[in-house]
Chain A
Amino acid sequence: MIQYFASLNFMTLIKVLPGDIAQGLIWGILALGVFITYKILDFADLTVDGSFATGGAVTVMLVLSGVPTPIALLAAVLAGCLAGLVTALLHTMLGIPGILASILTQIALFSINLNIMGKANQAVSVDQYRLVLSSRFNAQAILSGAIFVVLIIAALYWYFGTEQGCAIRATGCTPSMAKAQGININTMKILALSLSNGLVALSGGLTAQYQGFSDINMGRGAIVIGLAAVIIGDVLFTALLKKRQNFAVRLGFVVIGSILYYIVIGIVLWLKMPTNDMKLFTAIIVAIFLAVPYLKERSRSSFSRAGRNGGTQNA
């Protein structure tokens, strides 16, 4: 046991962090997309599993045919917006419940992605093409990722302060009141879903470049990671900054939540746990993470304090 702890090398953990931070930043963009639908619009959007892979597929296929990478990423964003549009139309025009509409789109996107890529897996080598970022150069990847994240948070902060953005927030908050105020909630849902899935597709395109390939199943479980990041960010935000801070800080914490999730995976791998149990340990560590602030809060609430200090004497 002591041998095991002695064998863990802390320096290795520090050296692994850059890669985890880079991945966390890229998936943070996905988390921002999930934040828009899950927190702002209050819509459980499972399309992300599909649109993430769509972003990767479109980016890789365009890069392979010689299109400059930034344009390929732009095309990926548009493809993601289309996917979000389909989900929104299924929900608003055909009346299909939101979560079901998103599942339908996700299933359809599997076939569409296969058609885009032609096969299940497509490699794009950083040696042959000019990519925006790659796991080979983690420092530059962190820089590029950070630039993307900052620009996106700034854009989102501006957008959700505009009238249209506020209308989206109202739709998510109380649809019936928003409708009563004259906001077209169907249009707002379409806008929010398109925007969200566009961001997710961008994240998929960046991930495909980072890991050097695009795979048909790369989006599987993406919604779980996105939600975990959003919730970790939210919990941290309320734990560290009690007062309601501004929106940009909240968005920043969403990305920090994603980075933390990947650092947790990095720690679990570093701990050299039996490989079968990696996902179990990740879940346990994330659960502890989320539970501690809640338990601290409960133990500090005035009722429990009264119970501890006073009890029956003061009743």
Chain B
Amino acid sequence: MKKTVCVLLALALMIAMTACVGGTSANTSSPSMTSAAASSETASSSSAAASASSSGTASSSAASSSASASDKVYHIGICQLVQHVALDAATKGFKEALIAKLGEDKVVFDEQNAQGDSATCATICNQFVADNDDLILANATPALQAAASATSTIPIIGTSITDYATALNLKDFSGTTGTNISGTSDLAPLNDQASMLEELFPDAKTVGILFCSAEPNSYYQASVIEGILEGDGLSCSEYTFTDSNDVSSVTTTACAESDVLYIPTDNTAASNTEVIKNIAVPAGIPIICGEEGICSGCGVATLSINYYDIGYAAGEMAYDVLVNGTDISTMAIQFAPKVTKEYNADICKTLNITVPSDYTAIAAN
């Protein structure tokens, strides 16, 4: 009994070894299925479709639908770092863009979530490479890095990433990565955000920048905006918290030492806006936020980008790569199409701040 189990395990290991040595030339024909998020029972597109081979590899599939592009069903792998309103919106925009352009039955999404664990991103991307997906959407920086490491042939579209040069450690970055990676960035123009801060609070002398030390995107935005604000004569200090547990103590210190606070597009801060609001508003300290979600929770004003929009733009880029055959290494990183000045009406009223007329109020929901 035990010996048979041992022999079976050894056999399984050997099959796995030959599978990986056999490598990318193996073909699978996988029936299409809808993404796990939706209920799978309603799938009408259960017809077997030949799996798409990854671009660039020389594998030939006997059943491949090379005859007409309209028969081809695209398999897209989506790797999202963590459940989060902004990231979820970007994924939604991406999916809707592709469904609108390709048709619902021509595209199959394999949506996976790493639950905030960056090591799981590597496992998920490994899955996509093994599945021979046509394209990978990497939502957030660790997902992009794991995808970049897992494959150099499958096109990777990134989204919700602030700076591709820092994420991929590229020197002399000019907008295109030159590899199989492109995508959209969630960076709102930082000098416009700095001007907004100075416009609303001309008497402020000290600015506190509050963010989570575990998020590289926040570091990048903090250092850039610090440079801009200090160039304009304000003194800045950084206040970092490690995770949700120290938010309140760090925020209290920050409020005690600053006139105004700035929070970049920080995932941890976005999950803790209630805590921040309960400290900053009684202390009378206004907060300028990097995006709408944080602003509606605890901020006064923001130069907002819409994560759905950048997800949608990423979907359009993906369509370009898949159907029009555009070379992804020449596609430049796109930024948010439009930015809106928004303010939080309730908090502005509590803090007696009047905003100029070109700001729109954030709709309460």
Contacts and interface: CB of A to CB of B under 8 A. Distances in A.
Contacts of A4: 33, 40-41
Nearest to A273: B36
Nearest to B36: A272
B126 A16 contact: yes
A110 B243 CA distance: 11
A212 B83 contact: no
Interface string B24-38: 001010111100110
A218 B16 contact: no
A139 B15 CA distance: 13
A64 B169 contact: yes
Contacts of B20: 15, 17-18, 138-139, 142
A3 B32 CA distance: 10
Contacts of B31: 6-7, 9
B122 A14 contact: no
A305 B16 CA distance: 40
Interface string B83-126: 10000000000000000000000000011110111111111111
Residue of A64, A126, A217, A218 with most chain B CB atoms under a 10 A cut-off: A217
Contacts of B150: 19, 135-136, 212
Interface in A173-232: 207, 210-213, 215-218, 220-221
A12 B30 contact: yes
Interface stretch (A69-77, A90-98, A147-155, A262-270): A262-270
A274 B168 contact: no
Interface in A110-129: 110, 114, 119-128
A213 B43 contact: no
B179 interface: yes
A213 B2 CA distance: 41
B28 A275 contact: no
A6 B41 CA distance: 12
B242 interface: yes
B37 A274 contact: yes
A288 interface: no
B189 interface: no
A255 to B, nearest CB: 12
Interface of B: 2, 5-6, 13, 15-17, 19-21, 23, 26, 28, 30-33, 36-37, 40-41, 43, 46, 80, 83, 110-113, 115-127, 129-131, 141-142, 145-146, 148-152, 166-169, 179, 213-216, 218-219, 242
24 contacts: A7-B33, A7-B46, A11-B28, A15-B130, A16-B131, A23-B123, A114-B213, A120-B219, A125-B149, A135-B122, A135-B125, A139-B21, A210-B149, A212-B122, A213-B149, A218-B118, A218-B119, A241-B2, A266-B127, A269-B124, A275-B113, A276-B113, A278-B120, A279-B115
